[in-house]
Amino acid sequence: MPRRERITDVGCYHVVCRGVERRNVFLDSDDFEQFLALLKSVKKEFDIIVHSFCLMTNHYHILLETKEDNISLAMKYLNSHYAIYFNKKYKRTGYLWQVRFHSDYLYADNHFKYKIEAS
């Protein structure tokens, strides 16, 4: 079954990504800190506003806003660089993330507000 075409418009998104087989992708506080450092780099490099985020042990949620049509590039950078860090640290190979990231385009201000309150 082909993948659903991704919306890449400028605007607000709810992004989710989970570890392969729902395995943990954050095993200690250094892992969380490394991910946040990469997220900070992504914000600067891709001119993205992060409104809210939640890091769980096996997945993450990010509410972000893009100013350019670059969400796919930004998330590819974040996920691939974190996977390289994680695999090197824990001496493993293979995929870290279950699938490419999932994103919902938030069409209206009230949809965005609801997502923030629900997170």
Q: Is residue 5 part of a domain?
A: no
Q: Is residue 3 part of a domain?
A: no
23 band by pLDDT with thresholds 50, 70 and 90: very high
d(CA 64, CA 71): 9
- CATH number, domain with residue 16: 3.30.70.1290
Q: Is residue 44 part of a domain?
A: yes
Q: Tokens in use for 101?
A: 């990231």
- Domain of residue 94 covers 11-118
Q: Is 80 helix (H, G, I), strand (E, B) or coil?
A: helix
- Tens-digit pLDDT profile for residues 83-109: 999 999 999 999 999 988 888 888 755
Provide DSSP, 7-53: P--SEEEEEEEEBGGG--S--SHHHHHHHHHHHHHHHHHHTEEEEEE
Q: Is residue 79 part of a domain?
A: yes
Domain count, the chain: 1
Q: Enter the pTM of the model.
A: 0.84
- Tens-digit pLDDT profile for residues 43-67: 999 999 999 999 999 999 999 999 9
Burial of 62 (0-12, 13-18, 19+ CB in 10 A): buried
